[in-house]
Structure 1
Amino acid sequence: MHMQIQRSSEWKEGFVDRLENRQPWDSWTLYKMCYEVEKAKLIEDFYGLQSPKYLPELKPYAHQLEAAETVIERMNGKAILADEVGLGKTIEAGLILKEYLIRGLVKKALILVPASLMNQWLEELNQKFHIPAMQYSKKYDLNACNIVVASLDMAKRSPHKENIYSQDYDLIIIDEAHKLKNHKTKNYEFVQSLKKKFCLLLTATPIQNDVFELFHLISLLKPGHLGNFETFQVAFSASKHNVEEDEFLKELINQVMVRNSRQDTLNEWTSRRIQNIPIEFSDQEKEVYHMLSELKNVSPQFSDAFSTITLQREICSSKEATLVTLLKMREKCSASEEVAYIDELLGKLNALEVNSKAEKAYEIIAKANDKVIIFTEYRASQEYLQSYLYSKGITSVLFNGKFSKNKKEWMKLLFKEKAQVLIATESGSEGINLQFCHHVINYDLPWNPMKLEQRIGRVHRLGQEHDVHIYNLAIQHTIEEQILNLLNTKIGVFEKVVGELDDILSGFKLSI
């Protein structure tokens, strides 16, 4: 195929026509229009946000705009966005990304998120911010993909890791960044090795168990900002659950962290109504609990404190959860006295006909006569609770980390449209928004107070129109009392270093 290229002579004809007929050489109207276009594109001052002008359909809240301004103007694009759950950290990150794109300071960005949040991020970036983000795929040439959303769990593995390392990203955004709390994990190592000019870490819970988690997060953003690990320990007399010089430490942290609480916003928030509900074991349950606690004295094989605590927590949840662990332990038994003790325990477990905690949960659900979320730590307890509630005429659906993305969406829809109760394991406290529900039962207490905040944040967030009722169940004179005491200690560390927590956690300061 031959293509003939010719020079256009139209410019010459126009030039001669204007010259010979004395026609005007310019158009004042067109000039003014061009001038206005160029002026609109000009950013005369570094301060203030340009992005809202380009997002007429997005109506961000004042605290979200202020957070974006703070990160860009004061923190040089390296920050932890640590607003309380439900205040819109995704919107803040989107505003910052959009701002840097408009200013030409960012051309390539990588957003790392849990797999369950991929669709949510892609939808928000494309529809709300008009940012052409695409899902990572090894089939694509990353050189041609400017804004990429990827699952952190997938991105850290080969060959994806090497593919991503080959890129020079201007901005890295990491959602649910508390998953980087352990500096010895592959997640942490992967993010630390990424080339990045700007970096945003999104987490409502920058401290989950101890103060060193925050040290490692900040070290990802600005290595040396808090000194090295040894210096940090000495300067702030830091231990896992204590820190001194907390005002100076807060000042350093505030240089890299933006945190808005619900009280900081101008929005009208519904209340959290908390009840810590003590439960008394039946005599039969007490006997089984005591036998499980004594298991460590039967044989050195069972002296592991972790195994004892696990069994104690499980029996506080359900005999079904306990049976799973106990049967595994029996398989490892060799001595006849060990087998005999466990067989006796199994017999007493199977004979249990009462679950005092489940009965209390049913009582709460019946009284609420409304949608209720139950959070449990164990899938065996999940299945037991569904069966138990069904026997009482209560419809329920399950939600756990083993479900596919589509199944999770289906369970959420069934809960909204059909079932009265959603029974969720910990994975249900991350990435789903359930503002249509306003009753939460913490059936099992976690060691980590921030997990409770994540759970409650599923319902107590922007868009919630009702007061949220929180019921914390705890068996008296068991491991769950120790959990409450430790939660108290961890809350104290968080409030010392980061700031006040909402009522659900301060409610634990009341002893049961």
Structure 2
Amino acid sequence: MAKKKASGGKKAASKVSYHYKPDNLTLEQWQIALRRQAAEKETFGIREMNAKEYPGYYIVNNPVSQNVYRVVYRGAFSAWNYCSCMDFKTSQLGTCKHIEAVKLWLEKHHKRVCTDIPAYTSVYLSYRRGRKIRLRIGTDNAEEFRKLAAPYFTPEGVMRPEALDYITDFFRDAIRLNDTFRWYDDAMDFILEQRDKRKREQFLSESNADILIDSLLKVRLFPYQKEGVRFAYRAGKSIIADEMGLGKTIQAIGTAELMRKQGIVSTALILCPTSLKYQWKKEIERFTDTQAVVVEGNHLKRKELYKAEPFYKIASYNSVANDIAILHELQTDFLIMDEVQRLKNWNTKIAKAARHIKAEYAVVLSGTPLENKLEELYSVVQFVDQYCLGPYYKFIADTVIKSDTGKVMGYKGLNAVGEKLHDILIRRRKKDVALQLPQRMDKVLFVPMTEQQQAMHDELQSNVAQLVYKWNRQRFLSEKDRKRLLLSLSQMRMVCDSTYILDQKNRNDTKIDETMNILNQVFENGDEKVVIFSQWERMTRLVAAELDKLGVRYEYLHGGVPSEKRKNLMENFTELPESRVFISTDAGSTGLNLQVASILINLDLPWNPAVLEQRIARIYRIGQQRNIQIINLVAPSSIEERMLSTLNFKTSLFEGILDNGEDSIFLDDSKLDKMMESISAIVTEPEDKEKGEGREVVHIEDKEEPAETFAPAEASDEDTEPSEDTEAARLIRQGVSFFSGLVQTLRSPEGIRSLADSLIEEDKETGKATLRIPVPDKESVIGFLSLAGKLLSGFEEKK
């Protein structure tokens, strides 16, 4: 019965596959059929506009996405059909699912298709076979418009290239001829875009352009970096895909500064992985005289920060994805997208959100060779120019070789792809610019800690602060205190790497992920080899485990490896092409010759600069031909950062002590005194933290940043009120200092024990404990007791 019923009705149309082209259809026919199929599935709201004033105009509403599209339909395959959606503009099919939906609506309602030539004349942007400015002459004053248009348009109605600079003269005269003449926004935007590009090219040809580029930043750019700035400036929107270590960041900043100083842009937005936000901030403030603000906090705070005064705003991809879900779009003059290869899939939430950022100019940075993954290349190019590589279906058909099962077997037509990308993508390898590079390049990469790491770090810092406070008050530390001081300092450094070093049951870290990101770039870029150092064997073990997951060959040296086996490890690393990584602790660093490597990653920095140079010496010798790169991973707002900025590696104080755990230095109180002064600098927060800049804490989705936290610090005279140095003011200062220190002390069991040790004296013979409180003099105690008595009396009277 079912078969008869089906045969008696209308024959159902066969479903068109989204993955395979039917043999009976051309490539374009297949794509049009897919869009018609999509239109049949979806429920659109469609209404016709004023047929007299706007013949053939329709409004199409998508009730699911709430998007509204403007459609013009004047018959099948009409050159004047149009839709405001991006698929129509990029597919080169002359149709889209919205136009197909209008066709179905007209058929269903038996409405007449308007194929008449409109009375008015218009200038529009054609998207068929590439974007072109075209003229459509209406029935009113047709002959006069043809004469007027001759100097500006070809007989086929395409704008002449030489007319770009004076096409607005035609617009003026056309309106005078007939006030119904119209031009469309996308056509005008295209004209202005081409004019703007011509102006930028003209500037770069002038002699003062080189002078301005030379003075853009506080540091001198290498010649290839200047070329990168010029390229990105000329393109307007570009991709810098230089090999890792060639300074893509500084080229992007240089381009932004050139556009800012030329008065082209007034704001810049930087999108980057969460772990790199403060790295960008430090680089901007190091290379320029411009301020940068990190967009973080809850959604309302981030919304305000996007409008903040500083030229540069820095936001993570996760934050922007969350914000666009609420705001729907963001606008900026200049957009920088860093590490874009981490976005992977073009259809991810983050990639989709990034497409809702409107920017006049953009620089996209990628550290991997995009030509090795054409599908990924296409996705990245979409951020810069959605028209450059043509429609995706055609790009895949022209470049990807697939088996009968759909598996990618190889690529073709790569030269044609390269020609299309010539004006928007620039990529240099180290070997291409080796003569311009210094033999050794050192980079500090700031990698924020997780919330758990920061909490453990702060607790350990509090312990050290109490011991410093005790030393400052008594000029004495017991042997137990001294050992606890060394242990806390070492553990603070361990936590900067990973909580796993202290507790193998709980692992919280970010340096491992950042290390793997660096290694993945190295692996994809070529055959360079990498040496990785850490003071902690457990940290190197984590790196080894990640390389095991990837199936990458590595050599692993630590203190437990017998000396007779070390030679084999070095030989394997030197001679085997597949051995890409050498992992080592400082215990195994002496006597190594690893000059086959060109990159060294320090997961942590030793106190002693001699130990650091010893690491570097494993791959670097003065006079060698190979350029090497040193990458130091440092946790911001931590003991590691203050080792760099405050201590600056004071060798005389720390050599052989904190690196090796010896405490013989404590036999000399004068050395201990100097050391405690330096440690005090380590555990005291920098001044900018008091100005409201909170610590960066890594969150998985970056939805809301934590409240600002502060380390203990004694109040200074400049920080307190009243301003007059009265007895009351001094009393307030002393009270604030006392209670700040007391609260900090009572936050941890170790602090409480330390306070008790300093206040309680125990008789060794009798075991009797006595409370001992240091006081300035007897009169101060009498005054304090008198004041306390009056306060208590007043309290009793009120009762």
- TM-score normalised per structure 1: 0.47
Greater relative CO, 1 or 2 (CA 8 Å, sep 6+): 1
- TM-score normalised per structure 2: 0.31
